[in-house]
Structure 1
Amino acid sequence: MLGFHFSKYDPNEQGKSPFEKLLDLFLQLLTYTNGDFNEAMQWMNELDKEYKLTDKDYGIGDFLEDLKDKGYIDEKSPDGAIKITSKTEQSIRKKSLEEIFGKLKKTKQGNHNTFKPGGGDEINPETRPFQFGDTMEQIDFTNSIRNAQINHGIDSFKMYEDDLEIRETDFKSQTSTVLMIDISHSMILYGEDRITPAKKVAMALSELIKTKYPKDTLDIVVFGNDAWTIEIKDLPYLQVGPYHTNTVAGIELAMDILRRRRNPNKQIFMITDGKPTCLKVGARYYKNSFGVDRKILNRCMSLATQCKKLKIPITTFMIATDPYLQKFVQEFTECNNGKAFFAGLDKLGAFIFKDFESGKRKTVY
């Protein structure tokens, strides 16, 4: 029967095809399942049974075929298992970026620096009168000609120094960033998933830098009993392990990475939910999960002070509310002269992105 089909209006789903709607959910599930395709599809089937995600015109089987045809999954892996492709990995990063920037538009908390004008590469909408030393490239000729016509008439065109207006520009600095992610066991303790929001932030930050700040560098360091780097493409698969928290190893590796970077602006972001509980002494691990261990703490403070001398600020994003843990972060931040945010999991992305964006420009006189 011809006619109109009416459905409940949902502004988030406006104009999306059935495949696109299911893809959004699929990408979210891949983040929670650490990139495990089979587990994500099991969840898709369960959710479909519960919430009727599909209908008689488009089912989960159709979705699987579209995933294959559009290059989101690969059935030709050596072990015969279905794996997600690099296209899917990038889609997860883009989805995380959109999700976090969506929060940024709605939230009001965070650090907003006021940027003063200077010589640089980003145009400022404001203008000012000409001053000795300004270059020809800075002159706003449209406004300057208008001023000349207003001041001297249009019959005989004249332009003097007082007519000139200068278009300001901001200098956009290059930055080398190391993002440290705590993957100790406490990141999933007590029924609270802290690693997934941390992964989303890392994926979104990497996508932001690759697209908006291509000259910047971003390195991802994960730390448990030890610390090691991972590639951006490995972020969806990141998992928590049966580890203690060796913050010292993470900072030492971050410092080694930043020493090799030529950018003058360097910074470390650290996402953690607890105190340092581990230290490697030679080939032996020194561990203490009971309270704040002074031996481990002193080593952390020493590294924070070293970073301060090297002009490497450390911004700590603390996702735990225990007072004695927050006290450690406050002392650590004072040693480094850095920043500390005591953020909930839902606000973690907003905090880290506002801090990153606020440090992107500096005044040049």
Structure 2
Amino acid sequence: MAGQRFRYGAWRDGPDPLAPPFDVRAAVDDVGERVLAGESLRDALRDLIHRGPRDGRGLDDLRARARRLRRDALRRGNLDGAVTRAQQLLDQAVAAERDELAGRDDDAARFHEAVLDSLPRSTSQAVQELSGYDWASDEARRTYQQILDGLRREVVEQRFAGMKQALSGRDPAAEARIGEMLSDLNDLLARHARGEDTGDAFQRFMDKHGDFFPDKPGSVDELIDSLARQAAAAERLMRSLSPQQREELQQLMDQALGDGPLRSQLAELTDNLRALRPGMNWTRGERMRGAPDLGYGDATEALGEIGELDDLLGQLGQEHPGATLDDVDVEAVERQLGRSAADDLRRLRELERELRRQGWVTRDAEGLTLSPKALRRLGRTALAKVFADLAGRRRGEHDLRDAGAAGDLIGSSRRWQFGDEQPLDVVRTIGNAVRRRAPAGVSTLPVRLEPDDFEVSETERRASAVVALCVDLSFSMFADGRWGPMKQTALALSHLVATRFPQDSLQIIGFGRYAMPLSQGELAAIEPDMVQGTNLQHALKLAARHLRRHPESEPVVLVVTDGEPTAHLDDDGEAFFSWPTTHETVQSTVREVDQLTRYGAVLNLFMLGEDEGLRRFVNAVAQRSGGRVFSPEIGELGRYVVDDYVRARRGRR
């Protein structure tokens, strides 16, 4: 290190070297909190990427920056500057010629003045008529020649950035080399369009003509993308002008390119590029405003930027089916939005990649969704919220934090074996350690435990339970703010059963106009439906089917609803809906209640809201089935349901 010098300065752009990496678990928990609050799972995962994780910048921020740049580009100037510049040069040439002719006193001078006086008002037509004019003024001739030479140079430079030197003058050798390059390029693109292997041909083309392409494309596709962007910008310029301006510019361009091979080769190139990149925006015009008149090159450059920003906005929107962050062109982001924006995008990609690598999310046809691993974490979070509420409301009831024990203590113990989940018998465990050391005359203090000293308390095995949790999915649950607590309750109960009562069989049944069994993933992802109907009859029918699959278990049926039944299944299996409810709907629902009662199940109903019709219905059902009615505050729903489940599963047999 001796002799080396280092200079330090303020950090300006690029990734923050001190920024912490994304906390993947925190991102998953953030999604979980929003789902438990009632938001859509798809929306929560989408917002994770669009808004960015906590204190991060997401796709929405990048889109906002792209929209600002697009607005700025639209105010960059006037697009018809090429025609305006041609008109200015023409006026200068004509004025210089008139000055020269005014100093001459001959018939030829008067004739030339008459020619100038009769020039058409159209710039392109005037330039065309003066193409064979014998200029008296050298200055006027040079100015006139700039009209076509300058436009010709701008047109070709706009398509090929490396042609500036070749077009600096009218060099026949340079013209021939340009023509050869265009011929080889069109041949290469035609072969690529036919599906031929063009890898070697592309390399030979770049070895021969690479100085025309300073961006150094690495493949045929990169070359096509670059050329197509430029060609599309030129096409969009023509579409952005008024019909009169478009005609003027087209005629000027035709005159500038002449009748030689250059004009036809450029037209062929445009056709090839349109065929190879049909999805590129070739026809959309733009209304640009601003003080300066933009020349042909500046105008097409501005429209090219706008076109690329339009593509970026579409990519960053991620609206099309199957969209991923890999669809976003990072190089285009860096070109248009800067290095820091590209780094933000790379970090978002890394976050999504880590979420998938660590098994928190999976991707299906509709986009990202939570994996079973993440759903277990979500259920654990929901259960923790319920238990936290229970811990703060001790009423001398059963301690649910120990609800996962295999049964009630019976007073005896046995040696611990690997895999035992019974509670540890501390007194007998310490006694074993003391008795083991005492006969050898060794001091028993401090007590040193070995694996053989441990004993566990024996418990009376409880009967397994078969549980059906029927949750109302009608739109009123969402509209009245009950959607999130309903999801939290169902997920909490699902996780409790899976982790602490694995011998139980739980089925969550959602019911709207129809009922359906729901997995944890389906429950987390389900969204409210605008279709009306509360088909409790169908839900109870599915519950009975679930109970009959487990005849040896204690049947438990829990119903969470905020409205009386308004739908039932007809004999043909189609749902019949009516509001207010009908006698047939109530009777069909009560018949399912009676079926469950005869089977031995007790229905406990959790009534949300103060609807009088619902109150009358649930009271009648509870009285008929021997069940109970709870009317919890919405924030206490989880506590009531979990508490009732633990009590009910203790069994009556």
Scaled by the length of structure 2, the TM-score of the pair is 0.41
Structure 1 contact 177–219 (Cα < 8 Å) conserved: yes
Which structure dedicates a bigger proportion of its chain to strand? 1
Which of 406, 409, 425 aligns to 1:124? It is 409
* Cross-structure match for 2:41: 35
Q: Residue type of the partner of 1:88?
A: A
Question: Which residue number corresponds to residue 56 of structure 1?
Answer: none
Distance in structure 2 (CA, Å) of the matches to 1:363 and 1:248 = 26
1:252/1:303 contact within 8 Å kept: yes
1:302 aligned counterpart, secondary structure: helix
One-letter identity of the residue aligned with 1:90: R
- In structure 1, C-alpha distance between the alignment counterparts of 2:394 and 2:600, rounded to whole Å: 29
Report if the CA contact (8 A) 2:568-2:589 is conserved: no
> 1:163-182 maps to which residues of 2 (within 5 A)?
169-182=459-472
Structure of greater Rg: 2
**1:63 shift after superposition:** 5.3
Report the equivalent of 2:372: 86
SS, match of residue 367 in structure 2? coil
Structure 1 portions without partners, runs of 5+: 1-16, 51-58, 115-119, 128-139, 147-166
Question: Structure 2: how far apart are the matches of 1:349 and 1:304?
Answer: 24
CA RMSD after TM alignment: 3.4
Shift of 1:69: 4.4
Offset from partner CA, 1:135-188 (integer Å, 9 cap, x none): xxxxx9x89xx9xxxxxxxxxxxxxxxxxxxx8844422100011111112212
- Change in Cα spacing, 1:337 to 1:98, as seen in structure 2 (3 Å) is same
8 Å contact kept, 1:171–1:361: no
Amino acid at match of 2:586: L
SS of the counterpart of 1:243?
coil
Deviation at 1:335, TM superposition (A): 0.8
Task: Please point out which of 382, 390, 394 is paired with 1:96.
Answer: 382
Moved more, 220-229 or 17-26: 17-26
Q: Which amino acid aligns with 2:633?
A: G
Structure 2: gaps of 5 or more residues: 1-21, 58-343, 400-404, 413-424, 432-456
How far off its partner does 1:105 sit?
Answer: 1.0
Find 2:632's aligned residue among 343, 354, 362: 343
Aligned CA distance change for structure 1 residues 42 and 21 (closer, same or farther; 3 Å): closer
Q: 1:70 and 1:363, CA in 2 relative to 1: closer, same or farther beyond 3 A?
A: same
From the superposition, tell whether residues 274 and 121 of structure 1 become closer, same or farther in structure 2 (CA, over 3 Å). Answer: closer
Give me the whole-angstrom Cα distance separating, in 1, the residues matched to 2:564 and 2:506: 25
CA shift at 1:125, angstroms?
Answer: 7.4
- 8 Å CA contact 2:370, 2:521 repeated in 1: no
CA shift for structure 1 position 83:
3.6
Distance 2:481 2:563 in 1: 14
CA offset at residue 270 of structure 1? 0.9
2:517 to 205, 225, 229: 229
Q: Residues of 2 paired with 1:182 and 1:363: CA distance? A: 28
Distance 1:325 1:47, change over 3 A: farther
- Taking only the aligned residue pairs, the percentage that are identical comes to 20
1:122–1:249: structure 2 CA closer, same or farther, 3 Å change rule?
closer
Greater share of helix residues, 1 or 2? 2
Partners of 2:585 and 2:367 in 1: CA distance = 44
Shift in Å at residue 45 of structure 1?
Answer: 4.1
Deviations 1:32-91 (A, max 9, x none): 3332154341685497489xxxxxxxx98475565344332346x4x4834432222222
1:73 maps to 2:79: no
d(CA) in 1 for partners of 2:548, 2:40: 31
Cα distance between partner residues in 1 of 2:527 and 2:54:
23
**Residue 124 of structure 1: CA displacement?**
2.1
**Per-residue deviation, 1:27:** 1.6
> Which residue number in structure 2 is paired with residue 25 of structure 1?
30
Alignment size in residue pairs:
295
How many angstroms apart in 1 are the aligned matches of 2:460 and 2:51? 47
Q: Secondary structure at the match of 1:93?
A: helix
1:34 counterpart letter in structure 2? S
Cα distance change, pair 287–23 in 1 and its aligned pair in 2 (3 A): closer
Greater relative contact order (Cα < 8 A, sep 6+): 1
SS of equivalent to 2:620: helix
Q: Describe how 1:194-273 pairs up with structure 2 within 5 A.
A: 194-241=482-529, 242-273=531-562
How far apart are 1:122 and its partner, in Å? 3.1
Q: Is the 8 A contact 1:171 1:362 kept in 2?
A: no
TM-score by length of 1: 0.70
1-structure distance, mates of 2:575, 2:649: 39
